[in-house]
């Protein structure tokens, strides 16, 4: 990964402290430094440096403006003699920022905004926007997000995770709770991808089934393990769409369900017992540990024991996999961290003016994250999983012998 050493000269600091501009001056400097560092990494050499690792030479730069929430930045995008320009950073940033700005502008245009929102929009973009400008920008961004959201899914995705986040959207003259349904997958090479997004009126089994069916039509296949919370409709939709897959109930949600029924004075002990049970090496071992403390739980936390026993097999399903995969697949925590990042950006909006606005902003953020995940560091090494999967499909010799014996007996009983 490129390491960037950013320095600010006296003129830059004077502009920040005394000039009309503020934080955008600092951000502009940082982003220009990053662009230069990316070109250095791409070429394998600093400007003028002679090394055996050099793969090309710089060829000046071109100017590009980038609208952000702190102001408009003037970037110097470097390029090399082959015509390569490293504008990936600004392109990714521009897309999600444009989605945010568009949503704010829609509030103004649709007459559902406050004066504060209008002021923010003007500060972000330097001027107010006409309906036609909003329409043109929306069309271009919608095309980009739709291209990502409808792309074909190629190859197998052995692991998937699904979760929903609640957002507020103005519908039918009132602010109403709405759901953003998100599905993440890990492909057969071990890279994470964001597979799909749906803005639904409610989180129901039907809404989840529709999203999963859309993913299947786009090519989602090979699902072995699906992790989610215990939403009944989601569980049924996963098992109906991908029959035979292992459904793993998110252990973080499961822990909270058990602790909700645990007396406060016994909570610390329950945490300890849940660690021992859920972090066992196998489901059989986990069951033994649960049975060893059943008498204690019946006396101290009988209601919690009932929840624990009811959800035990679903919450420990992941223990069927090799140990190296259990930690990352036992919960939806990685997906929840993604949702938290969306929340950080979405709170600027607070109330979306329409479902399409919500789909645009969240979709742009997800597309941006998808690029980082699918081109970044591998999330899981899949060699042990492939070995495990081959072993699952290998015929059981004991069963084969029994079938042969049964077949020969049956044959001997037939008349000549």
The answer to whether 170 touches 351, Cβ cutoff 8 Å, is yes
In a domain, residue 246? The reply is: no
**Residues in CB range of 247: below 8 A, 6 or more apart:** 226, 227, 228, 235, 238, 239, 314, 317
Instruction: List the structure tokens of 26.
Output: 């600092």
- Of 167, 132, 196, nearest to 355 by C-alpha is 167
352: which DSSP letter?
B
Domain boundary pick from 331, 366, 399: 331
In a domain, residue 315? The reply is: yes
> In whole angstroms, what is the distance from residue 286 CA to residue 200 CA?
38
pLDDT score, position 75: 80
In a domain, residue 287? The reply is: yes
> In whole angstroms, what is the distance from residue 130 CA to residue 368 CA?
27
C-alpha separations of 86 from 47, 191, 312, 373 in Å? 15, 24, 51, 19
The 3-state DSSP class for residue 410 equals helix
In a domain, residue 323? The reply is: yes
Total domains present in the chain: 2
> In whole angstroms, what is the distance from residue 254 CA to residue 252 CA?
5
Long-range contacts, 173-177 (Cβ 8 Å, 24+)? 175/351, 176/201
pLDDT score, position 47: 83
Angle at CA of residue 366, ends 213 and 176, nearest 5°: 75
Instruction: Answer yes or no: pTM beyond 0.85.
Output: no
pLDDT score, position 114: 45
Query: What number of other Cβ atoms are within 10 A of residue 368's Cβ?
Result: 20
In a domain, residue 322? The reply is: yes
The answer to whether 137 touches 146, Cβ cutoff 8 Å, is no
In a domain, residue 355? The reply is: no
Domain boundary pick from 86, 113, 141: 86
pLDDT tens, the chain, 416 aa long: 444 454 545 565 455 444 545 556 666 776 777 778 778 877 888 887 888 888 888 888 888 777 665 567 778 888 888 766 555 555 665 666 666 666 655 554 444 444 555 555 555 555 555 566 666 667 777 888 999 999 999 999 999 999 999 999 988 889 999 999 999 999 999 999 999 999 999 999 999 999 999 999 999 999 999 999 999 999 999 999 999 999 999 999 999 999 999 999 999 999 999 999 999 999 999 999 999 999 999 999 999 999 999 999 999 999 999 999 999 999 999 999 999 988 887 777 788 888 988 998 899 889 989 998 998 899 999 999 999 988 887 665 555 454 445 544 333 333 33
In a domain, residue 280? The reply is: yes
In a domain, residue 288? The reply is: yes
pLDDT score, position 80: 82
> In whole angstroms, what is the distance from residue 24 CA to residue 27 CA?
5
Residue range of the domain that includes 301: 251-331
Query: How far from each other are the two terminal CA atoms of the chain, in whole angstroms?
Result: 77
> In whole angstroms, what is the distance from residue 177 CA to residue 185 CA?
26
Domain boundary pick from 64, 86, 108: 86
In sequence order, which ranges of 261-354 are alpha helices (DSSP H)?
A: 267-278, 283-292, 294-300, 302-315, 323-329, 333-346
């Amino acid at each position: 990964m490129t390491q960037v050493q950013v320095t600010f000269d006296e003129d830059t600091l004077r502009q920040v402290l005394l000039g009309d501009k503020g934080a955008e001056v600092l951000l502009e400097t940082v982003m220009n430094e990053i662009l230069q560092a990316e070109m250095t990494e791409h070429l394998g050499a600093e400007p003028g440096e002679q090394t055996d690792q050099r793969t090309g030479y710089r060829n000046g730069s071109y100017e590009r403006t980038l609208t952000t929430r702190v102001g408009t930045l003037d970037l110097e995008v470097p390029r090399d003699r082959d015509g390569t320009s490293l504008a990936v950073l600004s392109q990714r940033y521009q897309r999600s920022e444009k989605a945010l700005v568009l949503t704010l502008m829609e509030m103004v245009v649709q007459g559902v905004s406050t004066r504060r929102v209008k002021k923010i929009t003007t500060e972000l973009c330097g001027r107010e926007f006409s309906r036609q400008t909003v329409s043109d920008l929306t069309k271009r961004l919608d095309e980009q997000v739709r291209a990502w959201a409808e792309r074909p899914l190629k190859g197998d995705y052995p692991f998937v995770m699904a979760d929903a986040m609640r957002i507020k959207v103005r519908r039918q003259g009132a602010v109403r709770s709405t759901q953003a349904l998100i599905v993440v997958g890990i492909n057969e090479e071990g890279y994470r991808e964001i597979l799909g997004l749906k803005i639904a009126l409610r989180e129901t089994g039907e809404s989840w089934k529709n999203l999963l069916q859309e993913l299947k039509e786009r090519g989602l296949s090979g699902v072995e393990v699906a992790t989610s919370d215990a939403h009944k409709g989601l569980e049924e939709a996963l098992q109906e769409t991908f029959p035979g897959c292992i459904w793993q109930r998110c252990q973080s949600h499961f822990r909270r369900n058990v602790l909700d029924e645990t007396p406060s004075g016994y909570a610390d002990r329950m945490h300890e017992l849940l660690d021992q049970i859920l972090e066992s090496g196998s489901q059989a071992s986990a069951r033994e540990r649960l049975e060893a403390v059943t008498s204690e739980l019946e006396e101290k936390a009988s209601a919690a024991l009932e929840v624990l026993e009811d959800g035990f097999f679903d919450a420990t399903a992941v223990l069927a996999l090799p140990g190296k995969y259990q930690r990352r697949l036992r919960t939806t925590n990685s997906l929840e961290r993604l949702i938290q990042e969306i929340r950080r950006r979405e709170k600027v909006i607070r109330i979306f003016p329409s479902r399409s606005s919500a789909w645009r902003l969240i979709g742009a953020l997800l597309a941006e994250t998808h690029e980082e995940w699918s081109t970044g560091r591998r999330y899981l090494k899949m060699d042990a999983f492939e070995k495990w999967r081959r072993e699952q499909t290998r015929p059981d010799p004991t069963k084969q012998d029994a079938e042969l014996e049964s077949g020969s007996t049956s044959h001997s009983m037939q008349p000549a």
